[in-house]
Amino acid sequence: MEKNYAIKVENLVKHFGKDDTLVEVIDGADFSIEKGELVALVAPSGAGKTTLLMMIGCVEDPSSGTIWLGNEKVYENKWLTKETRKIRREKIGFIFQAHYLIPFLNVIDNVTLVPQTNGVPQKEAESFAMELLEYFDIADKAHNMSSELSGGQNQRVAIARALANKPEIILADEPTAALDNKRSVSVVQMLKKIALDQNVATIMVIHDEAMLPLCDRILKIEDKKVVSEVVSENARMI
Ligand SMILES: Nc1ncnc2c1ncn2[C@@H]1O[C@H](COP(=O)(O)OP(=O)(O)O)[C@@H](O)[C@H]1O
Ligand SMILES: [Mg+2]
């Protein structure tokens, strides 16, 4: 595969159930995402956005097809490793609509949890976590509990946590859904900056069309296929 791709899927198929209960969700997706790209994933509710992200994130089993993450083929009609959890931990940062911070840990312990699980020494993990928190302008809350932070602050911590293991790929499922417009713009701008600065490939499910001009490209799910669209020049000027 070409070296610059962070994600590539070929003929990816996903259905749930069988016979009477068969639900076909994705019927042969082919696309790739380059390093440094921020891609919006747009489709109506129930179209399979979360399912697609979870397959790329090695959480949901595809029905068939091929998935490459960077230079590693991770799935070809079956997972090519028993250690999908390790791939997730090492390569992928997840951001969800709800922040899912651990309530009984303070901010910095939430951010350092995965790197420490990956064997990064505590000091190193903490110093990188502080860098991230500073980058997101939330370092003064490092020793607060998540419950003491606002929604926007918690979402910034959740993005810092997703970056703490230096992922090659960020999968963000409606990361701005719980935020007001101003905070949504700032979250998307941060994801854009991270994509550029750190060469991270990001797929972000988003409903608000106003955010599209900040993205490099749009993926849509139409008739169970994934199609790629450029962001129009008009939209970019908004
Ligand atoms: N575990 C499951 N079992 C059966 N059907 C599922 C399951 N998960 C999702 N689906 C179905 O797959 C389709 C896509 O769901 P989803 O990926 O959550 O859509 P979206 O994120 O675009 O709203 C829906 O029809 C949903 O009902
Ligand atoms: Mg969803």
**Residue 89 CA to ligand 1 centre (angstroms):** 24
The ligand 1 atom nearest the CA atom of 43? 22
Q: Angle at CA 84, nearest 5°, toward 98 and 86?
A: 80
Domain boundaries, the chain: 36-59+79-237
Q: Which of 18, 21, 23, 174 to mutate to test the pocket of ligand 1 (most atoms within 8 A of CB)?
A: 23
Residue nearest (by alpha carbon) to ligand 1 atom 25: 46
User: pLDDT by residue for the chain (238 residues), tens digit each?
Assistant: 456 899 999 999 999 999 999 999 999 999 999 999 999 999 999 999 999 999 999 999 999 999 999 999 999 999 999 899 999 988 999 998 888 899 889 999 999 998 998 899 999 999 999 999 998 889 999 999 998 998 889 989 999 999 998 899 999 999 988 788 888 888 899 899 889 988 999 999 998 888 999 999 999 999 999 999 988 765 554 4
pLDDT attached to residue 238: 46
The Cα 108–Cα 141 span in angstroms is: 8
Predicted structure pTM score: 0.91
CB 196 within 8 A of CB 132: no
**Residue 83 CA to ligand 2 centre (angstroms):** 25
pLDDT attached to residue 152: 85
pLDDT attached to residue 232: 72
Residues at CB less than 6 angstroms from ligand 1: 16-17, 23, 25, 43, 45-51
**What b-and-e string marks burial along 55-72, b requiring 16 or more CB atoms within 10 Å of the CB?**
bbbbbeebeebbbbbbee
Architecture of domain 36-59+79-237: 3-Layer(aba) Sandwich (3.40)
Residue nearest (by alpha carbon) to ligand 1 atom 7: 16
